[in-house]
Amino acid sequence: MIRHGQTDWNAEERLQGQQDITLNDLGRSQATRNGETLLARIGSAASYDFVSSPLSRTRETMERLRTAMGLDPTQYRTDERLVELSFGDWEGHTLEEVASVAPDRLQARIEQKWSFIPPGSSAESYEILSWRVGAWLRSLNGPTICVTHGGVVRSVFRLVGNVSEDEAATMTIPQDKILQIDPGARTLHWFGSETTG
């Protein structure tokens, strides 16, 4: 499982959610580097299913990753269940901006981040996100390489790694590493090299 490469909104610490924001130059290099790392780690990818969130930042990450692995960049599928959680009306804003207009709501999020639902009809909590991520995990039937979003990876840590809600909701999810998951053994392990930028 790989988080998409960096976008300008990531760099600006904006709540991105389901907004379709493209990779920046660092994000493109992260995606290529993750593909090179993955190729060195697994060798042949013949037995793997490749699946991505349908948002452009994850699709471009997947296509750059597959190119770096010497594979046809277009031969993968997408799954709506892998889309990032929706931050509702807060999407596009920094937490500092949210604090200036809704300090009480932001404090509520800090206190109960896993279950907090931002304002807006489409908004989700991490708990709600984990329901669709759990359904996706149960649908897997073999080795899979997945490109997705930070919230989805947090859900996997909660569902597979059984980390606490607080830890899952606040943990850092790198964009320059690959998460190896063994659902049967309930183990998760990061590999790859960090980049700066």
Query: Quick check: 126 and 151 in contact, CB under 8 A?
Result: yes
Which pTM value belongs to this model?
0.94
- Residue 5, CB-side half-sphere exposure with 13 Å CA sphere: 26
What are the structural domains of the chain? 2-191 (3.40.50.1240)
- Catalytic (active site) residue 84: yes
pLDDT digits (tens, 9 = 90+) for 115-166: 999 999 999 999 999 999 999 999 999 999 999 999 999 999 999 999 999 9
Structure tokens at 117: 């639902």
From the list 12, 36, 60, 84, the catalytic residue is 84
What is the per-residue pLDDT for 196? Answer: 42
Query: Quick check: 133 and 159 in contact, CB under 8 A?
Result: yes
194 pLDDT band, cuts 50/70/90, is low
Q: β-strands 178-182, 187-191: how paired? A: antiparallel
pLDDT digits (tens, 9 = 90+) for 15-38: 999 999 999 999 999 999 999 999
- Catalytic (active site) residue 12: no
Q: What is the C-alpha to C-alpha distance for residues 95 and 108, in angstroms, rounded to an integer?
A: 13
